[in-house]
């Protein structure tokens, strides 16, 4: 279970009520409730972790928006695939991996700030088997859609925090295909698989019990 150490700030909660964010979250909720719940938890957890680093309010809002929207691409994925109670075959894994690409595409199509697009779309790029971009240097290159990129060190840190929050929530919560992992296992997996700043892992782990 993931616990937030900080009270939810009104200016962060209000982001989830912004018309454009609400419109996308509403579609996600209709399509797949579990993805909607995961998106909300990841947004809050990412902001909670970031608060330990003392970011500017604008950066915190940017990160929270990206957190709410990071799985927008799952609107393209079938519910049967999202709710599969078995190990996915290679074709299905590739299909599921496309959700990060679709997040970039859909958010770009809606005219979102390139920083939000870059942070949201890179939430699986700080892991040992990254996607949609496959190599380490790709994090320094334009995104696959619209030549977007996470341009500054600050935004790369935000993208790492979001990726870590996404990973932690996936490991710590029950899914159709698995039970939650215990904290010790989560920590071990993160140190093996998370390729961002390792110093962020303890900030995430103190929120897991």
- Which pTM value belongs to this model? 0.88
> Would you say residue 134 lies in a domain?
yes
Q: What percent of the chain has pLDDT over 70?
A: 88
State residue 8's pLDDT score. 62
Token representation of residue 50: 């970031």
State residue 147's pLDDT score. 40
The number of folded domains in the chain is 1
> Would you say residue 181 lies in a domain?
yes
Q: What percent of the chain has pLDDT over 90?
A: 70
> Would you say residue 44 lies in a domain?
yes
> Would you say residue 58 lies in a domain?
yes
> Would you say residue 2 lies in a domain?
no
> Would you say residue 3 lies in a domain?
no
> Would you say residue 84 lies in a domain?
yes
Domain that residue 77 falls in: 10-205
Segment 101-129 shows an average pLDDT of 95
> Nearest Cα to 42, choosing from 98, 74, 77, 4?
4
pLDDT tens per residue across span 138-175: 445 444 444 444 456 788 999 999 999 999 999 999 88
> Would you say residue 5 lies in a domain?
no
Domain containing 17 — which CATH number? 1.10.3210.10
- Residue 111 banded pLDDT, cuts 50, 70, 90: very high
CA distances from 205 to 42, 79, 172, 191 (A): 14, 30, 10, 11
State residue 150's pLDDT score. 42
Burial class (CB in 10 A: 0-12, 13-18, 19+), 95: middle
State residue 201's pLDDT score. 98
Segment 111-123 shows an average pLDDT of 94
- Residue 54 banded pLDDT, cuts 50, 70, 90: confident
pLDDT of 135 over the 60 cut: no
């Amino acid at each position: 279970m993931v616990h937030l150490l900080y009270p939810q700030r009104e200016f962060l909660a209000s982001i989830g009520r912004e018309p454009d964010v609400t419109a996308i979250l509403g579609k996600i909720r209709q399509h797949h409730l579990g993805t909607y719940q995961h998106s909300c938890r990841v947004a809050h957890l990412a902001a909670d972790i970031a608060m330990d680093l003392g970011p500017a309010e604008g950066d915190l809002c940017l990160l929270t928006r990206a957190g709410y929207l990071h799985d927008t691409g799952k609107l393209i994925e079938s519910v049967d695939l999202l709710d599969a109670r078995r190990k996915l075959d290679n074709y299905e894994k590739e299909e599921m991996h496309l959700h990060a690409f679709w997040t970039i595409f859909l958010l770009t199509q809606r005219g979102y700030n390139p920083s939000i697009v870059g942070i949201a779309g890179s939430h699986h790029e700080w892991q040992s088997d990254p996607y949609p971009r496959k190599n380490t240097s790709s994090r320094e290159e334009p995104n696959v859609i619209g030549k977007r990129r996470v341009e500054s060190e600050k935004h790369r840190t935000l993208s790492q925090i979001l990726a870590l929050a996404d990973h932690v929530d996936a490991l710590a919560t029950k899914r159709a295909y698995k039970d939650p992992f215990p904290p010790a296992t989560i920590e071990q997996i993160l140190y093996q698989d998370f390729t961002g700043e390792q110093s962020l892992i303890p900030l995430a782990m103190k929120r897991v019990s």
